[in-house]
Amino acid sequence: MPSLFDSVQAGDLQLANRIVLAPLTRNRAPDAIPTPLMAEYYAQRASAGLMITEATAISQQGQGYADVPGLYGSEQLDGWKQVTEAVHEEGGKIVVQLWHVGRVSHRELQPGGGQPVAPSAITAKTKTVLIRDGVPTFVDTSAPRALRLEELPDIVHTYQAAARNAVETAGFDGVEIHGANGYLLDQFLKNGANQRSDDYGGSIKNRARLLLEVTRAIADSIGGGRTGIRLSPVTPANDVHDSDPQPLFDYVVRQLAPLNLAYIHIIEGATGGPRELAERPFDYAALKAAYRAAGGRGAWMVNNGYDKALAEQAVKGGADLVAFGKPYIANPDLVERLFRNAPLNEPDKATFYGGGAEGYTDYPTLSNK
């Protein structure tokens, strides 16, 4: 029986253990350029079997928040190169999470001050963050416009170019496609946000088309074995909802199965909240069974509210990888702490988003109290 601390293969990635740094938005990249402080932060966490970066915009159109990093300009790629070098020096593995926010954005962040884009012109009842007088401030998202059919191939190509730049120029070990949490690809999947009547709306097959085209394009370009994807079947994050998520996501993972992806990353329940939602039941074991029955061999990664006991139970139950979010903010040496059953530092919510080293790179390790 494998333990959390045993090595595992995820596609082309040979991982030292099954503990993963979940993608965590930290808003510390002014002008969308990764900084030396970010390199230090990720290097501190390099004992994770795998690190997934914070969500990183593939284009300016894909930007939705102040001070989140991008992956489309040469300075951004150079900044990331410093991050991957620092991580590799520590023997870590790191993939970048590719992000297009779709409608979760604001005109101020969009090219030419235009409207954010979405499958349909439906405003999300959610907030984004802008800097006002130097202070991160929550504001309503701007009303989006529906993407035209002829714009979709360009979005696929933009994802593909970002993936290629990520591995070839920035030195990442792979990429994770952000298909979760109510951003563009999840907006296309779910019928609360997608009311299109063309080939990208209506049936499950049509709503899944963009996500699958993006994933196939990336897998073709950098190899499925370096490509992971994150999905959140029932999260209410960013005001997305599907009337019948089980057949939708069973279909998605069956279609992903032949792509030989490195991993499938599932957020169980409400992102950062309850693992079970009475009003949105979902059978995650059936989802995994659907993927395996269709021949999917990627590592199965689970996430949301895991502690050591729950993680060990998940690994015994057949999960290959467990992603930890909030515990990793406050515990750079989380692997060692879990291994030794050492107490964990508590994360400070006030410093989650924005700021500098405080609450970012200054959490103590066991050997440096």
Told to check if 55 binds ligand 8OZ by CB under 6 A, we report yes
C-beta of 301: minimal distance to ligand 8OZ in Å?
15
Residue whose CB is less far from ligand 8OZ, 123 or 365 = 123
Q: Which residues of 76-109 are buried (b: 16+ CB within 10 A; e: fewer)?
A: bbebbbbbbebbbeeebbbbbbbbbbbbbbbeeb
C-beta of 271: minimal distance to ligand 8OZ in Å?
6
**Interface residue with ligand 8OZ, options 18, 44, 62, 65 (CB under 6 A):** 65
Residue whose CB is less far from ligand 8OZ, 296 or 360 = 360
* Amino acid (1-letter code) at residue 257: A
Residue whose CB is less far from ligand 8OZ, 65 or 291 = 65
Told to check if 76 binds ligand 8OZ by CB under 6 A, we report no
**How many positions of this chain bind ligand 8OZ (CB under 6 A)?**
6
Told to check if 291 binds ligand 8OZ by CB under 6 A, we report no
Told to check if 266 binds ligand 8OZ by CB under 6 A, we report no
Told to check if 110 binds ligand 8OZ by CB under 6 A, we report no
Told to check if 237 binds ligand 8OZ by CB under 6 A, we report yes
Residue whose CB is less far from ligand 8OZ, 202 or 272 = 272
Q: Which residues pair with 10 in a beta bridge?
A: 13
d(CA 262, CA 5): 19
C-beta of 367: minimal distance to ligand 8OZ in Å?
30
Residues 190-229 vs ligand 8OZ: string with x where CB under 6 A?
A: ----------------------------------------
C-beta of 332: minimal distance to ligand 8OZ in Å?
20
Give Cβ neighbours of residue 291 (< 8 Å, ≥ 6 apart).
253, 254, 256, 257, 264, 298, 300
Q: Which of 41, 65, 72, 183 is catalytic?
A: 183
C-beta of 55: minimal distance to ligand 8OZ in Å?
4
Please say if 183 is a catalytic residue. Answer: yes
Told to check if 360 binds ligand 8OZ by CB under 6 A, we report no
**Interface residue with ligand 8OZ, options 84, 110, 160, 271 (CB under 6 A):** 271
Residue whose CB is less far from ligand 8OZ, 119 or 296 = 119
Residue whose CB is less far from ligand 8OZ, 24 or 315 = 24
Told to check if 25 binds ligand 8OZ by CB under 6 A, we report yes
Task: Give catalytic residues, as residue numbers.
Answer: 183
Residues making contact with ligand 8OZ (CB under 6 A): 25, 55, 65, 181, 237, 271
